[in-house]
Structure 1
Amino acid sequence: MRDATAFGPSCIQPDVPARSLYYDPPLQTSEDCLTLNIWAGPEGVKAPVIVWIHGGSLRVGGSAQAMYDGSEFARRGVVFVSLNYRLGVLGWLAHPSLSAESPDGISGNYGLLDQISALEWVRENISAFGGDPANVTVMGESAGALSVSYLLASPNAAGLFQKAIIQSANSRNFPELDSPAYGLPPAEGRGASVLSALGLDSIDAARGATAQDLADKASFVPQGTIDGKVLPLQIIDSFDHGMFSRVPILAGLNSGEVRSQRLFLPRMPDDYEASIAARYGGLADDFLALYPAEDVGASMLATLRDAIYGWATERIVRKEREAGQPAFMYVFDYCYPNAREAGLCAFHASELPFVFGALDAERLSGNWPYPDGQNDRAISNALLDYWTSFAATGQPTSDHGPAWPAYGSDEAYLEIGQELEVRHDPFPGMFELHEELVRQRRAAGEPWFLNVGLGARPHE
């Protein structure tokens, strides 16, 4: 008998600055953190299952955050599961010595393996809670959406889920285990450098350090490693070569994503058009048509939104559609007075309170511009309907919104604004331009993540 009435500790992580919009520190942390939480209604029999993967740049966050309470999903007949997974250096660092210890000769991706272990547990045990192990939807936002992309591409996760919900994904280039790729050093070499910078000359020395010190002091960008096994190929190559899970998908992004991520923005130039011409050559006119000089600030925000989130989202939707799967796309464009006053309309993660029904200030970070609009509850109820019906049947429906058609040749999508409307071609010309830019980057062996707009390398 085990007392399972309280959340387990979140995974070891560094502090988030108290001024951060996303400041929501965990109550407790531990290395022993691979735990799941389950919300289920009293009458569930073969109910659809949603497995939620939290965001936080693969560095911070946890399933115990109040925003992620699954009660509203359970009230709508879903068995809702959330999980913790290892973060930062403890979850994603590769190293030659760790690879040598592995039967597969690989390292890194430990956080992803945690997620896969959680899905395996769900397959074996969720029926005891009324859930249907043959009807599982993986769902994530930001780093959680990135994780869902990994799961779609990982052969280790094949068959563990039947649908996917992806909120604000990205499809960057990732380090490869033991060779440089697209401007990134080998993941093993990077891991060795990270430990060396901490004065740790071996894995044994690193194991002698405290986990919290490693999390606090390591200068490390956690991300998946292309290791040939857990992640066989660059994610976009997996989709291009048909090596991904063919499942119904619901995916989208927020219109103001980068309003809360301005640290990604490059410096504003004296001559915007000349700077773009120097970086884009023959594509400069196409770029300026989408991101004009009339409002450089707005164009810079839109450029990064599309390069990080828009292109990646639409690409995954298109690939699943081409594979014969129903694929549904949305753009979250809803704003309310508190967000508008803060200059944060439809910012990164701002859809989450609506998706979870977490509209009360006490469910959100103290720095979050909590929803205070007249339509908040109506929008939230509609999104909960769409998300839960998609998990149940593969078709998002709601009595509180329009029929949501699949993304097809007409590029239909749901715009979530003050009203819910079906529209077509969310950002005309965006996908085509960024697809060509990434094609050129890949052909030249260059990175494509953030190598864009005013931050792009000069064109040769």
Structure 2
Amino acid sequence: MIRSLIRACAVSAALYCSATVATTLDASPVVETPVGPLRGLAEDGISVFRGIPYARPPVGQLRWRPPVPASAWTGVRDATRFGPACHQPPSRPGSIYAPAQDPPMSEDCLSLNIWAPAGARDAPVFVWIHGGALSGGTSSDPMYDGAALAARGLVVVSINYRMGVLGYLAHPDLSAESADGVSGNYGLLDQIEALRWVQRNIAAFGGNPGNVTIAGESAGALSVMYLMAAPAARDLFHKAVAQSAYMMSMPALRETAHGMPAAEETGLALSRTLGIRGLARLRAADAQSLTVQAATAGFMPLGNVDGKTLPAQLVEVFDRRQQAPVPILAGFNEGEIRSLRFLLPPQPADAAAYDTAIRAAYADLADAMLQRYPSTDLDAAMLATTRDALYGWTAERLVRSQTVLGQASYLYFWDHAYPAATEAGLHAFHAGEIPYALGTLHGTPPGWPKSPDTDAERALADALQGYWSSFAADGRPTAAGRPDWPAYGDARAFMAFAGTPLPGTHLLPGMFELLETVVCRRRAQGDQPWHWNVGIASPPLPPETDGCR
């Protein structure tokens, strides 16, 4: 591998060589970057560099401040081990998403990892943002390993970012010390700083800083939308992949909005609840204890509308066509909520009780709701109602919005069944597509329903990796020997993945229009959020207004 990189540089001596490589005694790759040399690992034709700091440790006075770029170093820095995860609560026992053991954690966690193919030069860059409700997760998760996509010609980057109370606390005192007069959104600012690091340094690994795709699932996809809406992230990426994104309502920094208290007031209330008053004491508190205590107290990390990092609600940014004008690949899973049943309200006693609740909540839209989510199968109705309100509506809204901007937009629907998932009642569950798209079926957590090692499963994984990697390369998802994936366009096209890729049109007809009307009315009234307070958990829906029928 090292010889091939050196040979590639020699052949193009008259041109810019994007990777400066040396051979060490143990044949480990060494790359000269603008911030200093790094020694990584050579693994099956892929150069791997782990735990690269992109920002200084946000400890002490840097806790709850925007990230500060990491300092350059002298001498060759070891990059063979992942950096620690950012602080998070312990994994929930019994969760299929729980790792074999919780990773080491530290506030010194703002690092990234890179997988680069041998001989890479001006290669497309794929930046993966992990999920975990902005509360948990880490880039070192084996399911996020970038080797398979790197083998397809991408330079793959995965990043850590601050989460929970350390990543999203807003507080009047923090706003007062900020030059912009705002607080919160620190985890999002970390992601932006990581993308800046990529712009400055990725060419040293053979990547093209002018061809960067940001991608993520769940909270990672929420982060993708935040980045699309954030002015500071503009021009740091050129395509987006949003897997199971949820365009939920956000708190405003200083005012009650959409049924949510001001983010600063939430921070004050949390400080009172924890009995930790003043920034000095908050910054001196043990990071892990603070993280767990805040989560136990019900602190929910979210981006806040501060007028600076996030200028408006995501729906408003996209309606105003102020989001990043980039191609997008977005979709959701048929069984999203089967592994997230804690998002469901208690099931009503019978079909009659369900019908009564829907009619009381949805008034003139009740018939449409009952047609879309009938009481003939209460479990299926409740699963589908929450799935669509969070993930289905968001996915279609994203591709519709980017289509309006003239950007190529691609919608998918993951509906894949395999024995272990079906037996566990987890058909096409939340995040189930990740190991197929990233090529990490071998790296799923212990409680994850295992995919069988069959030709059919490998073929499906090969197809997804082909579509994802080609989209990152040129904005068009294609896979050798597989159906063409049509852009969403006027035909409202999509690709279904249910064993094999199958293109179609008009996914779940009427779903988007119904939920768009619900969200529109709630936005117009201004005192209701619009995410999982749906179905039998819905407050009375506001009446129709001009533009919201």
The answer to whether the 8 A contact 1:59-1:87 is kept is yes
1:294 aligned counterpart, secondary structure: coil
Deviations 1:28-52 (A, max 9, x none): 1110111010000111110000000
The answer to whether the 8 A contact 2:518-2:541 is kept is no
* 1:440 paired residue number: 521
The answer to whether the 8 A contact 1:381-1:400 is kept is no
Deviations 1:166-195 (A, max 9, x none): 000001110000111000000001011112
Give the aligned residue type for 2:302.
Q
1:13 aligns with 2:95: no
- TM-score of the superposed pair, with normalisation by structure 1: 0.98
* 1:368 paired residue number: 448
* 1:323 paired residue number: 405
* 1:37 paired residue number: 113
The answer to whether the 8 A contact 1:86-1:111 is kept is yes
1:420 aligns with 2:512: no
Give the aligned residue type for 2:506.
D
1:240 aligns with 2:313: no
Find 2:356's aligned residue among 263, 274, 298.
274
The answer to whether the 8 A contact 1:336-1:373 is kept is no
1:40 aligned counterpart, secondary structure: strand
Counterpart-to-counterpart distance in 2, 1:343 and 1:459: 32
Shift of 1:459: 4.5
1:154 aligns with 2:230: yes
* 1:379 paired residue number: 460
Counterpart-to-counterpart distance in 1, 2:510 and 2:103: 45
- TM-score of the superposed pair, with normalisation by structure 2: 0.82
1:214 aligned counterpart, secondary structure: helix
1:50 aligned counterpart, secondary structure: strand
Give the aligned residue type for 1:109.
N
Find 1:182's aligned residue among 252, 255, 258.
258
**What percentage of residue pairs aligned between the two structures are identical?**
51
The answer to whether the 8 A contact 1:26-1:65 is kept is no
Give the aligned residue type for 1:454.
I
Find 1:260's aligned residue among 306, 329, 339.
339
1:107 aligns with 2:179: no
Counterpart-to-counterpart distance in 1, 2:413 and 2:259: 32
Give the aligned residue type for 1:411.
R
Counterpart-to-counterpart distance in 1, 2:347 and 2:86: 38
* 1:163 paired residue number: 239
The answer to whether the 8 A contact 2:254-2:264 is kept is yes
Find 1:394's aligned residue among 465, 475, 480.
475
Counterpart-to-counterpart distance in 1, 2:481 and 2:193: 37
* 2:42 paired residue number: none
2:324 aligned counterpart, secondary structure: coil
Counterpart-to-counterpart distance in 1, 2:522 and 2:394: 15
The one of the two structures with greater contact order (alpha-carbon pairs below 8 A, sep at least 6) is: 1
The answer to whether the 8 A contact 1:10-1:26 is kept is no
Give the aligned residue type for 1:11.
C
Counterpart-to-counterpart distance in 2, 1:6 and 1:15: 22
Counterpart-to-counterpart distance in 1, 2:515 and 2:453: 35
Shift of 1:353: 1.0
Find 1:347's aligned residue among 422, 426, 429.
429
* 1:286 paired residue number: 368
1:300 aligns with 2:376: no
The answer to whether the 8 A contact 2:127-2:158 is kept is yes
* 2:268 paired residue number: 192
The answer to whether the 8 A contact 2:385-2:534 is kept is yes
Counterpart-to-counterpart distance in 1, 2:312 and 2:189: 16
Give the aligned residue type for 1:237.
E
1:23 aligns with 2:101: no
* 1:46 paired residue number: 122
Counterpart-to-counterpart distance in 1, 2:440 and 2:199: 28
2:77 aligned counterpart, secondary structure: coil
Counterpart-to-counterpart distance in 1, 2:322 and 2:387: 27
Shift of 1:400: 3.6
Counterpart-to-counterpart distance in 2, 1:401 and 1:217: 49
Residues 42 and 437 (structure 1), Cα distance of their counterparts in 2 relative to 1, 3 Å cut: same
The answer to whether the 8 A contact 2:522-2:541 is kept is no
Counterpart-to-counterpart distance in 2, 1:400 and 1:26: 40
1:440 aligned counterpart, secondary structure: helix
Shift of 1:373: 6.2
1:313 aligns with 2:395: yes
1:293 aligned counterpart, secondary structure: coil
1:113 aligned counterpart, secondary structure: helix
Counterpart-to-counterpart distance in 1, 2:85 and 2:330: 27
2:180 aligned counterpart, secondary structure: coil
Deviations 1:120-149 (A, max 9, x none): 000010000000000000000000000000
Give the aligned residue type for 1:211.
A
Counterpart-to-counterpart distance in 1, 2:108 and 2:383: 39
* 2:142 paired residue number: 66
Q: How many residues align structurally? A: 458
Give the aligned residue type for 2:500.
E
Find 1:338's aligned residue among 415, 420, 423.
420
Q: Which runs of 5+ in 1 are unaligned?
A: none
Find 1:130's aligned residue among 203, 206, 211.
206
The answer to whether the 8 A contact 2:409-2:487 is kept is yes
* 2:303 paired residue number: 224
Greater gyration radius: 2
Shift of 1:458: 3.1
Counterpart-to-counterpart distance in 2, 1:455 and 1:240: 27
The answer to whether the 8 A contact 1:98-1:106 is kept is yes
The answer to whether the 8 A contact 2:112-2:159 is kept is yes
